[in-house]
Structure 1
Amino acid sequence: MFTTALVALDQSPAAPATLARLTDLSTWGIKKVILAHVVRVSYNQFAAYDHGENYREWLERCAKPLKKAGLEVTVCVRISGLVADELLAIAGEFDADLLLVGSRAHSRASTLFLGSVARDLIRKTTLSLFLEWVAPDAEDTGTEGAPPVTPALNQVLLATDLSRYASGAENLIRELSTEATRIDLLTVLTPDGLINTPALPVMAAAALNHIRDYLPGKPEQISVLTPKGSPAETIVRIASERDATLIIIGKHGQGWLESKLIGTTATEVCEAAQRPVLIAPLKKGE
């Protein structure tokens, strides 16, 4: 499934919860972890180099409990003006197959919590990206103080538009289904889609049932859902109603322009879901 995770960290209250998620992800096959921080270059580059050493010491402290848990951990600190690009370069150097990023709202009233780095990673990554949502009132409890996370595969919501771009997410749910407790398979029927294709409800249900029939795992419950509405808003609403512990969604668009134009649903879901989201890009050959 996955073997090597690149974990992007900074010294924020999102870090403990992000690190705690690694215990859960170890059941997915993760054996190697790269704890990475990219110091953004400022006008004073020498100060950035000094600050980078402080981050390395902090990451080494973060690594200790992970090593005790049996994970192979590497610490990596880089300095760059392009943080997301540098993180992706590190992932390539270490052959990572999963990115883990934590993100946190700035206030209880805020539903928009993605920073520029997270948005850039969503847009540019060709690897699966696990976005760990952290509550806005979370405190920085240190490297070992985060409470256990709810297992992501307790209640999984697969959101697919049944296009070729969603095949990465659909293939991923097949791999994860052996460990999942409950799974919801969801396609949102948009107003335009219903107008253009009157048989869309029947076609969508048939396609989701096909995915269900070929899931190798035996979850306690698998549901097929075809609600009407706008994609992002409906996915977020259903995830809340079903108390999803993880949303899996495909990433639309392969190039910069495509991602800007049609790759918005995944980003909007990440912004508003208030729960973990796993983004699965379309892989070569899929």
Structure 2
Amino acid sequence: MQLQQLLVVIDPTQSSQPSLERAAWIARHSGAAIELLICEYNGALDSGLMFEAPALDKARHALLAQRRDWLEQLATPLRQEGLQVTSEVRWGKPLHKMIIARCAELKPDLLLKTAHSHGLLHRLLLSNTCWQLIRYCPTPLWLVKPQGEWRGQRLAVALDPTHSADKPASLDHQLIDAAQTLGQTLGLEDHYLHSYAPLPRTLVFDAELVADYEYYVERTGERHREAFEQLLDGHAIGKPRTHLLQGFAEETLPRFVDENAVDLLLMGAIARGHLDTALIGHTAERVLEGVNCDLLVLKPQGVAAHRAG
């Protein structure tokens, strides 16, 4: 995973831009260039019912010029400290399609966008645009949690060595390589997680398994440990930074993030067939909504952008 070009989605409705703050932190460590992107649209300026076409064009150009001036204000202090920052303003909707189109043109190494959060739940609440980007955008997507101080000390990557979610085996190796690159470039301590859950006793209907349920649980754990160790074999990863967690991923991963002060969680995403919804998996979706940290979602290498509905 390279860190040469970052694309940052700027929210024109907010004064605070956590995604830009994170991008600047990444650029300071990596030397990456930054592009600031605003995708603007106002239905009142896209209809000829109230105004004639020349007046609408003039109003749109004025609004885009205002946005461009604001981006330049955001970029100026970053340029003064030596960072390479450019800006881009686009008109159109929906937002996720506009962002994906710019990704196709710029081909950034990383797309950063601020995700929403709920002050009481202390978790991310992903917007429809976030979900659409997770499903359809091939660019690695860094979703920034807007609340809390960014420590920038520790990352964790969720792996699936048994490929229970139909993920290609290469995606786990891609996640490991990305985590190691981020760890070295950004100074993050990298940890590697695999979570598994044996069937609860109440759902085991095989008489032989019921009779020796403890052996079944032990053997399940051994199989997952073997698969986890085989996946990690060949990567320079110390044992203290590998963690086999027993339990459902939507419970164990958020708990690990909280207990170990994880700043960034990496996960893989896959598209499922030709469905417009292109789910990344119900478990992964629950994990994404439940964690209390930034998220980095990667697609398998070579995946083209899916057509977004």
Q: Do they superpose with TM above 0.5? A: yes
Change (3 A) 1:40 1:222: farther
Q: CA deviation digits over 1:251-285, x for unaligned, max 9? A: 13265528644434444333221211111111129
Counterpart in 2 of 1:21? 22
| Aligned with residue 67 of structure 1, among 46, 61, 79 | 79
Counterpart in 1 of 2:103? 91
Pairwise CA distance, 1:62: 0.9
Q: Supply the distance in 2 between the matched residues of 1:92 and 1:236 (Cα, whole angstroms).
A: 32
Pairwise CA distance, 1:10: 0.8
Match runs of 1:178-193 below 5 Å: 178-179=184-185, 180-192=187-199
Q: CA deviation digits over 1:41-62, x for unaligned, max 9? A: 4243235543322211111111
Q: Supply the distance in 1 between the matched residues of 2:138 and 2:268 (Cα, whole angstroms).
A: 11
Counterpart in 2 of 1:238? 256
Q: Secondary structure at the match of 1:86?
A: helix
Indicate if the aligned counterparts of 1:3 and 1:32 stay in contact, CA closer than 8 A: yes
Q: CA deviation digits over 1:149-201, x for unaligned, max 9? A: 322xx221111112324343233123234355533211110335997986442
Counterpart in 2 of 1:143? none
Pairwise CA distance, 1:35: 0.3
Counterpart in 1 of 2:130? 118
Indicate if the aligned counterparts of 1:15 and 1:102 stay in contact, CA closer than 8 A: no
Letter in 2 for 1:76: E
Change (3 A) 1:102 1:178: same
| Aligned with residue 224 of structure 2, among 190, 204, 224 | 204
Counterpart in 2 of 1:150? 151
TM-score normalised according to structure 2 size:
0.75
Indicate if the aligned counterparts of 1:40 and 1:79 stay in contact, CA closer than 8 A: yes
Counterpart in 1 of 2:10? 9
Equivalent residues, number: 270
Counterpart in 1 of 2:176? 170
Structure 1 gaps of 5+ residues are 139-146
Letter in 1 for 2:259: E
Indicate if the aligned counterparts of 2:269 and 2:299 stay in contact, CA closer than 8 A: yes
Q: Supply the distance in 1 between the matched residues of 2:234 and 2:183 (Cα, whole angstroms).
A: 10
Pairwise CA distance, 1:8: 0.4
| Larger deviation, residues 207-216 vs 224-233 | 207-216
Counterpart in 2 of 1:144? none
Pairwise CA distance, 1:247: 0.6
Letter in 2 for 1:223: R
Indicate if the aligned counterparts of 2:182 and 2:188 stay in contact, CA closer than 8 A: no
Indicate if the aligned counterparts of 1:185 and 1:222 stay in contact, CA closer than 8 A: no
Match status 1:57 vs 2:69: yes
Pairwise CA distance, 1:109: 4.1
Q: Secondary structure at the match of 1:37?
A: strand
Change (3 A) 1:246 1:216: same
Counterpart in 1 of 2:115? 103
| Larger deviation, residues 52-61 vs 208-217 | 208-217
Indicate if the aligned counterparts of 1:2 and 1:29 stay in contact, CA closer than 8 A: yes
Q: Supply the distance in 2 between the matched residues of 1:241 and 1:227 (Cα, whole angstroms).
A: 13
Q: Secondary structure at the match of 2:120?
A: coil
Counterpart in 2 of 1:253? 271
TM-score normalised according to structure 1 size:
0.80
Indicate if the aligned counterparts of 2:27 and 2:33 stay in contact, CA closer than 8 A: no
Pairwise CA distance, 1:223: 2.5
Change (3 A) 1:244 1:20: same
Counterpart in 2 of 1:33? 34
| Larger deviation, residues 113-122 vs 176-185 | 176-185
Q: Secondary structure at the match of 1:244?
A: coil
Q: Rg: which structure is higher?
A: 2
Q: Secondary structure at the match of 1:71?
A: coil
Q: CA deviation digits over 1:77-129, x for unaligned, max 9? A: 11112211111111221221210111222542474521121111111111111
